[in-house]
Amino acid sequence: MRRHRFGLQLACVAITLFFGVPLYLIALAAFSSRESLDRFPLPLLPTDLSAETITTFLGSTGVVGGYLNSLMVGLSTVVLALVIGVPAGYALARHAFRGRDPYQLFLLLTRALPIVVLSVPLARIFLQTGLYDTTYAVTLLHTALALPTTVLITSAVFVGVPREHEEAAQVFGASPARAFARVVLPQALPGIAAVAMFTFVLSWNEVLGATILTLNQRTLPAHVLTTLSDSPLAYRFAGGLALILPAIVFVAVMRRYLLNMWGTTLR
């Protein structure tokens, strides 16, 4: 039994190293000076830390703009996806209506298809409508990507709020809208916050569509991708870390919700 526990820990540590060491190395690379990145062999321990590489990256053209665009697109996507998705999620959770099953199938189908590959024809449509190269265009695409998941997760969140509470409020004279706003929403809020985080990360990470739909209004990943081939290694490492940081915050905040979220929506 003792040897068994030891083997278990050993395997867990090995897997943790596989996932953790690359994260350590990219942070190390991004916080090394350019001169120490030119050295070989590279130091494997943080002996020579400097903010030079990361500040050069942040100071280069397009990076701050990219950050702001990514933030804009991410937040607008969250708002739009919630405005459109929460009512639909509520309807799925509370009503048995005709067309419910086809609607759910439709959601699954759109989620399963790579909507991103439709970016190329979408770019032409946006060119004609004057939306091309705006953050709005990217927001629309990202909302379409996120919406099926938003609806499915919010419906799972609303299923978790007891129907009796809502009915009790209505018995005591609250209108349906008021019962929803004062009784259901407060209980559903943590779950909806989780959905919002999830949507934001999806938008933050999306590269291809954002690259195709913009020229100057690049999001950060789109900017990093398009400048990849003619930028020095130090710049790429700093870009890698800049893209990852929100992910680490996301997972730290979302750890409690992760299993529920994926568990309920993917089965």
Partner 1 sequence: MKLRGPLLLIAPSLIFLTALFAWPLVAGLSQANGADIRRMLDDAYFWPAARNTALLIVVLIPLQFALAIAMALLLRARPRFAGVYFYIWVIPLAISDLAAGLVWLAVFTDRGYLNSALSQLHIEGYAWLSYQHPVTMFLAVVVAELWRSTSLVFVIVVAGMQSIPRDYDEAAAVFGANYWQRLRKVILPQLRPSLQVALILRTILALETFAVAQALTGRNMPLLVGETYQWYAVLQNPNVATAIALVILAVSLLAAFGYLRALRS
| Residues 186-245 interacting with partner 1 (rule: CB under 8 A) | 201, 204-208, 211-212, 221, 224-226, 228-229, 233, 236-237, 239-240, 243-244
Site pattern 99..138 for partner 1 (x: CB under 8 A)? xx--x-xxxxxx-xxxxxxxxxxxxxx-------------
- Picking from 146, 149, 135, the residue whose alpha carbon sits closest to that of residue 205 is 146
Nearest approach in angstroms of CB 262 to partner 1 is 5
23 near partner 1, judged by CB under 8 A? yes
CA distance 169 to 185: 13
State which residue, 90 or 169, has the beta carbon closest to partner 1. Answer: 90
Cα Rg of the chain (Å, integer):
23
Q: What 3-state DSSP class applies to 230?
A: coil
Nearest approach in angstroms of CB 154 to partner 1 is 11
CA within 13 Å, CB half, 215: 6
Site pattern 146..165 for partner 1 (x: CB under 8 A)? -xx--x--------------
Q: Considering only 6-14, 61-69, 71-79, 183-191, which stretch makes contact with partner 1 by CB under 8 A?
A: 6-14
Site for partner 1 in 39-98 (CB under 8 A): 40-44, 83-85, 87-88, 90-92, 94-95, 97
Nearest approach in angstroms of CB 68 to partner 1 is 18
Task: Tell the burial category of 154 from Cβ atoms under 10 Å away from its Cβ (0-12, 13-18, 19+).
Answer: buried
Who's near 238: CB < 8 A, 6+ residues apart?
A: 30, 53, 54, 56, 57, 58
3-state helix, strand, coil in the chain (%, to 5): 80, 0, 20
